[in-house]
Structure 1
C-alpha cells in the first residue's frame, strides 16, 4: 500500500524563491564565518585526540582562514 500524497505548502510550492540572506537561521556571512570557526575548533580537537594529523593540520588551516576573515571584517567595520 502506498501513502496518500500530501499537499504541498504554499512556501514549498513557490519553489524556494527566498534569497540566501533570507533563509531562516542565517545571519549573513559574518555569522556564518563565526559559526564555521567555532565548529572547526571542535573538529580540530577531535582530530588531535585521535591522532589524525593531516585532518588536524587541514582543520587548523581552515580555522586560521576563518579567524583572519573575522579579523579583517571587524577591522573594516571600525573604519
Structure 2
C-alpha cells in the first residue's frame, strides 16, 4: 500500500480542492487510458467533470454575488 504524500498541503478551500481534484483526476484518467484501463479512465473522467462543474458553479456564484454588491 502506498503512503499518503506529505510533501505538499492540500487546499483548505472547497472550490480550490475541487479544482485540484479536477486536475489530478484528469491526469489519472489519461494514464489509465494509456494503459488500457478504459473503465477506470471513464470513472476518473466523470470525477474530473464533476469537480470542474463544482469549481465553475462556485466561481459563477461568487462573481454574481460580487456584481450584486457593487450595484
What TM-score comes out, normalization by structure 2 length?
0.71
What TM-score comes out, normalization by structure 1 length?
0.65
Aligned to 1:16: none
Aligned to 2:33: 48
Aligned to 2:49: 64
- Say whether residues 1:34 and 2:19 are aligned partners: yes
Structure 1, unaligned stretches of length 5 or more? 1-23
Give the paired residue count.
56
Structure 2, unaligned stretches of length 5 or more? 1-8, 65-71
Aligned-pair Cα RMSD in Å: 1.4
Q: Distance in 2 between matches of 1:54 and 1:73?
A: 29
Structure in which a larger fraction of residues adopt helix:
2
Give the C-alpha shift of residue 61 in structure 1.
Answer: 0.6
Aligned to 1:14: none
Structure of greater Rg: 1
Q: Distance in 2 between matches of 1:25 and 1:67?
A: 17
